[in-house]
Amino acid sequence: MARSRLILDSGAVSAISEGDARALTWAKRATERGMLIGVPAPVFAETSTAHGLAATIHRAVRPKDTVLSTTLDIAVEAGVMRYRTRKTHATVDAIVVATAARYPGSIILTSDLKDIITFALERPDSRLTVRSV
């Protein structure tokens, strides 16, 4: 079984890169509990820019150590969740949850509680916890 992780969405990645105390505390707690931090690859599409912020984000979350690939199975599951919940605008959020579901017992750190919780309810078997930054 895959080890649980602290999964970051775009808002959480941005919060950590900006030095947000709440987000940094969650990352510290997760590390102290032996959890790995994970960022689904599409999150970097939402957080990367041509400006200096992108470099700050990449230093904050070290993508080479934390990036979680989006497989075909994850993409299809995210698409089905989007369809069932009628949240077609929230593709990356659905991918975040579908990715987290691969790591039962994970915590998703998000700035978008409403969409993430809606998708997480689609995967009760994964025992996902959702927390806000």
pLDDT digits (tens, 9 = 90+) for 12-21: 988 988 889 9
The per-residue pLDDT for 70 is 96
The per-residue pLDDT for 55 is 60
For the entire predicted model, the pTM comes to 0.90
- Quick check: 7 pLDDT over 60? yes
Average pLDDT over residues 9-35: 89
**Complete DSSP assignment for 59-119:** HHH-HHHHEE---HHHHHHHHHHHHHHT-TT-HHHHHHHHHHTTSTT-EEEES-HHHHHHH
